[in-house]
């Protein structure tokens, strides 16, 4: 079911449910919590009854920070995005489109033209966008006094150094001298857990930069290992690079070089020996899951451990053959 059909169905059901009995006004506490609800919950709440639908749609505070994630991201189109963002009445502050492949340059441009107050634009994995489309949107937002302060574009195809150099001045002119001077290091194991509405003062204004190893525009990670900092004759820049150039442990984010013993998880992620030893292992193959994929294992009856999906599949194949 498309998002537009879902929204229309919810409104239709709300009208039908309220025909027999007129719904009263929602509790005043709704205005306190609706601004913290994810987009999916806001759309679902608008289908409960007409009073809730009207209360949610008219509460502009609930629509000032819009984050589209799974499962809505796969079906989000330009038209649906316009309908959702219009509820902010031109006061949208944050637009986070996580892996929304159907959003185009024209759709993004129409949204930013109608919402000039956007100061956080997150577009990771939006493969339907082009570098030129992103630059056009950033230029439009920078024409107003409330300029863009944070931009995420990792995963958009064909971004090169020229595009990055074009984007930087538009963001840096909106930051104070203190904000430009320093930012927290970006660690590989933490970037996937960074919340959508992150504290932008702690991170760089743009999530990608030129990798010092391969000279490509990608996310560049720092190394958190104290042992690397203490190595004599080795600067921290030796441990800094994109994930393609420097293999990193999925758990601690530390660099893994050729001299270290590398262990594999069931999910094929790289683990350093220290992290591998600390994680629970499969009862059969003695391999762990990283914490991100730990839910893939199954717990057999009467066991305190788990069996990985690979061993389960092999067991089922052998049982079928026998």
Q: What's the CA gap between 110 and 81, in Å, rounded? A: 10
Beta strands, E only, 165-253? 209-210, 217-218
pLDDT on residue 120: 92
| 302 torsion bin: left (phi>0), alpha (psi -120 to 50), beta (else) | left
Paired tokens of 74:
């796969």
Paired tokens of 95:
């637009």
Paired tokens of 3:
């998002």
Strands 150-152 and 270-272: unpaired
What residues of the chain score a pLDDT lower than 50?
Answer: 18, 20, 177-178, 181, 195, 198-201, 230, 232-233
Helices (H), the chain: 3-17, 30-33, 39-45, 50-58, 78-85, 105-114, 131-142, 161-172, 177-181, 188-191, 226-230, 273-278, 309-321
pLDDT on residue 192: 63
Element (H, E) at 283: none
pLDDT on residue 172: 72
- Tokens 């239709």 locate to 12
Q: Which residues contact 56 (CB under 8 A, 6 or more apart)?
A: 30, 34, 42, 45, 46, 62
CA torsion angle 223 242 203 146 (round to 10): 170
pLDDT on residue 186: 79
pLDDT on residue 256: 80
Q: How many CB atoms lie within 10 A of CB 122?
A: 22
């Amino acid at each position: 079911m498309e998002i537009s059909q879902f929204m229309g169905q919810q409104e239709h059901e709300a009208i039908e449910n309220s025909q027999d009995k007129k719904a009263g006004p929602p509790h005043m506490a709704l205005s306190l919590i609706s601004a913290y609800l994810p987009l999916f919950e806001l759309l679902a709440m608008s289908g409960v009854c007409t009073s809730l639908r009207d209360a949610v749609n008219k509460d502009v505070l609930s629509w000032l920070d819009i984050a589209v994630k799974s499962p809505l991201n796969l079906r989000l189109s330009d038209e649906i995005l316009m309908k959702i963002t219009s509820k902010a009445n031109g006061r949208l502050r944050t637009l986070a489109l996580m892996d929304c492949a159907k959003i185009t340059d024209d759709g993004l441009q129409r949204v930013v033209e109608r919402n000039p107050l956007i100061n956080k634009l997150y577009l990771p994995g939006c493969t339907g966008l082009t570098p030129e489309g992103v630059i056009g949107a950033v230029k439009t937002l920078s024409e107003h006094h409330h300029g863009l302060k944070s931009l995420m574009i990792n995963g958009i195809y064909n971004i090169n150094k020229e595009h990055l150099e074009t984007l930087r001045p538009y963001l840096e002119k909106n930051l104070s001298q203190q904000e430009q001077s320093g930012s927290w290091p970006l660690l590989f194991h933490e970037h996937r857990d960074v919340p959508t509405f992150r504290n932008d003062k702690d991170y760089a204004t743009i999530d990608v930069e030129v990798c010092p190893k391969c000279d490509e525009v990608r996310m560049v990670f720092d190394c958190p290992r104290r042992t690397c900092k203490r190595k004599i004759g080795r600067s921290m820049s030796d441990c800094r690079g994109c994930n393609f150039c420097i293999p990193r442990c999925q758990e601690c984010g530390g660099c893994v070089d050729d001299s270290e013993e590398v262990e594999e998880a069931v999910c094929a992620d790289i683990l350093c020996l220290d992290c591998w030893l600390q994680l629970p292992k499969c009862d059969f193959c003695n391999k762990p899951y990283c914490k991100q994929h730990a839910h893939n294992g199954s717990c057999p009856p009467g066991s305190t451990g788990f069996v990985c999906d690979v061993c389960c599949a092999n067991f089922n194949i052998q049982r079928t053959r026998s």
